[in-house]
Amino acid sequence: MTDYANTPYTKISSRGGSVRVTISSNVGQGNGGTSLPCKGCFVSPASGNTGVIRMNIGAAASATVGIELADADTGGPLYIPIDDVSKLYFYGATNGDDVDILYFNG
């Protein structure tokens, strides 16, 4: 079992926040690559995106690497049990598309 701030990850979080990743040159990284510790997060492509968004953990995503995230208009957010938002990498077919991340860290 992993602990964060001396609290087991299975406990309800009392703090958190959200960040938005904008796809630029077909790539993006959670929290702009700056470490942001967390217990887990929900990830969802923003409503109104026009291209496919793919996500990978710990290494760059590409058109062929990572999983395709469900469109915000047709699918719900995906929960990722991870310890740092910056470990999330995205590939977007359309520059300017966004990914929303809601994280828990307390």
Q: Which domains does the chain have, with CATH numbers?
A: 15-104 (2.60.120)
Q: What is the pLDDT of residues 61-88, one digit of tens each?
A: 999 999 999 886 777 899 999 999 999 9
Q: Could you give the CA distance from residue 103 to residue 13 in angstroms, rounded to a whole number?
A: 10
pTM for the whole thing?
0.86
Which helix (H) or strand (E) is 92 found in, with range? strand 88-92
Q: Could you give the CA distance from residue 7 to residue 77 in angstroms, rounded to a whole number?
A: 25
pLDDT higher than threshold 90 for residue 11:
no
Q: For the stretch 35-61, what's the b/e string if a residue is b when 16 or more beta carbons lie within 10 angstroms of its beta carbon?
A: ebebbbbbbbbbeebeeebbbbeeeeb
